[in-house]
Structure 1
Amino acid sequence: MKKLQGSCHCGAVTFTSESKHPYPYQLCYCSICRQTDGSGGYAINLAGSSDSLFIQGEENISIYQAIIKNPEDNAPRVSNGRRNFCKKCGSMLWLYDPTWPELIHPFASAIDSDLPTPLERTHIMLDFKPSWVVPNFGPRDKKYGRYPEESIEEWHKRLNLEC
């Protein structure tokens, strides 16, 4: 287990969470991640244990539930994911989705502790990448138009990166 320590830019919110899967390997190009957290055209999400989450400054957190508008859907829908951000400075902190209640997904941009360097990266939601974003694909990187079948846990196991 690796202890992730994170904060918002203004310091009003700090948090910690334990992670068995701390490698920042997955770059998400969906409009939600890109527009709420990704200045480079993508956001990087990690995995942490929700039951180990400790927050200071919780009163400074707001939650955003995005509207999902996939081209094949008949109508937009509200995402289950709850994006937690600092209501003072706007920093995105983590995503919590009740579909996986044991997890939180901190944004790598909010993590203050050192993170390990991934051996390869997984680029997801490339179907939603805008034309101005030019991905930097490494030789071992995986690329997906939507979501991969391989989970965060499976990715770590495949590369023998268990903490």
Structure 2
Amino acid sequence: MGDNPATRQEDFLQKPPYRAADPAAFNKKLQGSCHCGRVKYWLNKDQPLNAKFCHCRGCQVMHGAPFQWAAIFHKEDMMFEKGAEDLVFYQSESRHLEHELPCKASCSHCRTPIMDEGRNMVLLFPTLIKFAGQKERDLFSVKCHIFYSQRVVDIPDGTPKWTGLDGEGKSKLLDDLP
């Protein structure tokens, strides 16, 4: 990759999740879209690798909500049908509007947060997915809460609650009730 931002943009737009290896062979199972409909994507899986509620301060501020519901997928499990060119990116560490991983992607028109993109994974927001019914939605049930020590609201739902990331070895498991 060169230093030209346009070249970098062309490079990443040719890779998953922006382009499937073979769009004709992509098995479209679940569809998601932003509020205005300019950005539309498909998933080729019925359920995520994992689903979590994140209570970190960054998610609270970026989503304007007490926590974020995130579903984790491999990049290859997602394909944009339209609107990849309508995405804006934000790299929260450097606070720059650019596609520098990890970064956040949202619709440039309605500003709906679409995903957090990492090197190999995407964290999608299941509220954007059009579920056919409760059975499909239940496959996205959260397995745990992360950064629960930063919560602004208690959620005594019986799922594990971690002070940081789950499974990182440095995070402490908290009681379900305060």
Q: TM-score, normalised by structure 2?
A: 0.63
Match in the other structure for 1:16: 42
Q: Distance in 1 between matches of 2:77 and 2:154?
A: 34
**Equivalence map 1:96-111=2 (5 Å):** 96-98=117-119, 101=120, 103-111=121-129
| Identity of matched residues, % | 23
Maintained 8 Å contact 1:63/1:84: yes
| Cα distance, 1:4 vs structure 2 | 3.0
Query: Aligned with 2:138: secondary structure?
Result: coil
**CA RMSD after TM alignment:** 2.7
- Residue 91 (structure 2) aligned to one of 40, 59, 65: 65
Q: Distance in 1 between matches of 2:148 and 2:93?
A: 18
Maintained 8 Å contact 1:22/1:115: no
- Residue 146 (structure 2) aligned to one of 124, 128, 148: 124
Deviations 1:44-75 (A, max 9, x none): 1112231242211112101111128xxxxxxx
- Unaligned regions of 5+ residues in structure 1, if any? 69-78, 151-163
**Higher-strand-fraction structure:** 1
Higher RCO (C-alpha 8 Å, min separation 6): 1
Maintained 8 Å contact 2:34/2:128: yes
Q: Which letter maps to 1:45?
A: A
Show structure 1 runs of 4+ deviating over 4 A.
Answer: 117-120
| Cα distance, 1:24 vs structure 2 | 7.1
**Higher-helix-fraction structure:** 2
Match in the other structure for 2:76: 51
- Unaligned regions of 5+ residues in structure 2, if any? 1-26, 95-99, 169-178
Tell me: CA distance 1:119–1:13, structure 2 relative to 1, closer, same or farther (3 Å). Answer: closer
- Residue 115 (structure 1) aligned to one of 125, 137, 144: 137
Maintained 8 Å contact 2:30/2:46: no
